[in-house]
Every structure is written in structure tokens, then in C-alpha cells.
Amino acid sequence: MQLALARTRWPLAVAVAVLIAAAVAAALLWQSQYRSASTAVAMTGGDIARAPDLIRRYGCAGCHTIPGIPGGDGKVGGPLQDIRQRVYVGGVVTNSPDNLVRWIVSPQTFSPRTAMPATGITEAEARDVAAYLYSR
């Protein structure tokens, strides 16, 4: 009898353990995303929430595949993911927040023959976009 009871409780114990594991995993994921977002904001002084609209408005997404941007699947330039882990921007200048912002505003400053155009994006807007890219 006791054995039968123990057997019926097994699935419940497993279900609870799985639920707890899933909750812990979700909390850790949320925490790491929150941390990378706040680091990106601290690095750039930009506002991540403004970036998706700017990325569409200035045509970035037409030329680049950009994570988290619906329709952001351009193939003219390379994909803009894991930018935080890159050593160089455009292959010519060290990857720092200021250099990334300057590249986004005026890539020709660093790379006169680059195919990426100056899109007319302002420095403040480029900071928002840089914050977004570093948060991904």
C-alpha cells in the first residue's frame, strides 16, 4: 500500500522538479539579459528602446541582418550580432563604444573606401543603436 502510494507520487515529484528547474532557468536567462542590457546602456549612454525604430528608419536593417528586428535580414553588409565580442569595427578600428558610434554616424572617417554609406543618423541616435547592438 505504502509502495503504491510512493509510486503514484513519483510523477508529481518529477513534475515539481521540472517546474522548479524551468523557473530557475527562466530567472537566470532574464537576469543575464537584464545585465547585458544595463551594461550596454552604461557603455554607450544610449536608449535601447529607441533603436528598433531608428534601425528601420536609417536603412540599417536593409543592409544588415540584425537580431530582434523583424524583417532585419539584409545581406549587403555582415550580420550585426555578437558585436560586443568583436575586436574590430569594420575591420579597421578597435571596438569601443565611441568608435562604434562614430562608425555608425560616419564609416568613411575610419574606412574611406567602405561600401557602408553615412545614413544621416545623428550621434545621439547612433548611441541608441550602439546600445542596442551591444545588448544583443
Binding residues for ligand HEC, rule: CB under 6 A, are 58-60, 62-64, 76-78, 80, 86, 89-91, 103-104, 111, 114-117, 119, 121, 129
Cα dihedral across residues 127, 55, 84, 103: positive or negative: negative
Provide the minimum distance between the beta carbon of 82 and ligand HEC in the complex, in angstroms, as a whole number. Answer: 10
Q: How far apart are CA 9 and CA 16, in angstroms?
A: 11
Measuring CA to CA, how many Å separate 78 from each of 64, 72, 75, 84? Answer: 6, 12, 7, 15
Which of 63/131 has CB closer to ligand HEC? Answer: 63
Which of 7/96 has CB closer to ligand HEC? Answer: 96
Provide the minimum distance between the beta carbon of 55 and ligand HEC in the complex, in angstroms, as a whole number. Answer: 6
